[in-house]
């Protein structure tokens, strides 16, 4: 039987997860700290100590656990991470799509494999340092709500959470701002209180995904034609994984005209370019849907939709296509809708659901 007073905290060695553990310990929970080893440290550039995959990150987490006097373990998820997150990363780029590995990692690793590990330890709850809020409505359904600090809100990355996962998850920083988090961490005398944030993809600490793909998966990088919307050849690209929708710089075209990437045709291995206005679209198809605030979509529904983590929400209407697919129609055209990225739907501060942009 799971202990409702026991919570396992995913500790990355950063200030957010460290403070989450401290808050839960102070509230009287029986806290256990676990750091997930998801990428071989020997494959992580040694000059980036702030990567969550580095040895120093593990030691930072261990030192915080020691300071808080809580048990601490390191769990190896390297094989699962490679078979899921890394495989998806490679496959999406090989199909001329732009993946979001953090979304996949949250779905498969942090809130599935890690939650299972927490339950093995008898804990009813797992906790992370995400900025998001979980509430329960009058019907008993668990809802995912934006964090108090909208600048730090991470609900976009968490749209795949299921009802069971939400029931067993805690986000202790839901009402905190980043500055408050650092101040409290300093009050707790946690040495990571001023540790810089890590913004890059965790398994690419230098943030150079092109280098990563070229060194590890050169077979998916093949040069091909750059075509305009009429099919005229304008030049040659270096490999579709090196480009993204909406990109203007680095196309290598000898022209005074400003060209923008409009599409990437994996069947022809062609980069399609056009004018800036060609980058704007009103509709998209979203697949692999997960619903949170509703059980399913049976009719059209007005929402606010985000097509990338840093983009603002925009008014849109959802139309059901099938069980796992919806069509999204925006009131105003959106720039650079990118296959492989996620579209997340909101009703004000509540996450309705989300999925992966297909086209």
Report helix, strand or coil for 133: strand
> What is the per-residue DSSP string for 191-259?
TTTTPPPP-S-TT-TT--HHHHHHHH-GGG---EEEE-TT--EEEEES-GGG--TT--TT-----SS--
Classify burial at 218, counting beta carbons within 10 Å of its beta carbon; exposed 0-12, middle 13-18, buried 19 or more: exposed
CB contact at 8 A, 233 and 225:
yes
What ranges in the chain are assigned the alpha helix state H?
15-26, 55-68, 78-81, 87-94, 101-105, 114-120, 163-167, 178-187, 209-216
For residue 341, give the nearest of 310, 301, 296 by alpha carbon. Answer: 310
CA distance 259 to 229: 11
Best CA proximity match to 157, nearest among 107, 216, 96:
107
Q: How far apart are CA 101 and CA 291, in angstroms?
A: 20
Residue (of 12, 19, 21) closest to 125 by Cα position: 21
Contact present, 24 and 7 (Cβ < 8 Å): yes
202 tagged catalytic: yes
- SS3 at position 111: helix
> Strand pairing of 342-347 and 270-274?
unpaired
Catalytic site residue from 52, 53, 102, 105: 105
Within 10 angstroms of residue 237's Cβ, the number of other Cβ atoms is 24
**Residues designated as active site:** 105, 202
């Amino acid at each position: 039987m799971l202990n409702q007073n026991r919570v396992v905290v995913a500790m990355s060695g950063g200030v957010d997860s460290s403070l989450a553990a401290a808050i839960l310990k102070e509230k009287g929970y029986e806290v256990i700290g676990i750091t997930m080893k998801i990428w071989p440290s020997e494959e992580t550039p040694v000059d980036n100590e702030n990567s969550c995959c580095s040895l120093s990150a593990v030691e930072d987490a261990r030192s915080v656990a020691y300071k808080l006097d809580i048990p601490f373990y390191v769990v190896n998820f390297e094989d699962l991470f490679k078979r899921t997150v890394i495989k998806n990363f490679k496959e999406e780029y090989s199909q001329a799509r732009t993946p979001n590995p953090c979304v996949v990692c949250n779905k498969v690793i942090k809130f599935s494999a890690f939650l299972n590990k927490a339950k093995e330890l008898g804990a009813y709850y797992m906790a992370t340092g995400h900025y998001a809020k979980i509430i329960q409505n009058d019907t008993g359904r668990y809802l995912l709500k934006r964090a108090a600090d909208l600048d730090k809100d991470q609900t976009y990355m968490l749209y795949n959470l299921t009802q069971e996962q939400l029931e067993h998850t805690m986000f202790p920083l839901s009402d905190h701002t980043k500055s408050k988090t650092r101040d409290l961490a300093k009050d707790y005398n946690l040495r990571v209180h001023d540790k810089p944030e890590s913004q890059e993809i965790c398994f690419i600490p230098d943030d150079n995904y092109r280098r990563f793909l070229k060194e590890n998966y050169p077979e998916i990088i093949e040069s091909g034609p750059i075509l305009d919307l009429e099919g005229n050849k304008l030049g040659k690209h270096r490999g579709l994984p090196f480009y993204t929708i909406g990109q203007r710089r680095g196309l290598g075209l000898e022209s005074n005209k400003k060209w923008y990437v409009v599409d990437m045709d994996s069947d022809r291995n062609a980069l399609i370019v056009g004018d800036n206005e060609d980058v704007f679209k009103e509709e998209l198809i979203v697949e692999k849907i997960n619903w949170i605030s509703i059980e399913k979509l049976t009719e059209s529904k007005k929402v606010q939709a985000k097509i990338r983590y840093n983009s603002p929400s925009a008014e849109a209407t959802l139309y059901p296509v099938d069980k796992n697919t919806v069509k999204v129609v925006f009131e105003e055209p959106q720039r650079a809708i990118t296959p492989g990225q996620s579209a997340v739907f909101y009703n004000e501060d509540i996450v309705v659901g989300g999925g992966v942009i297909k086209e």
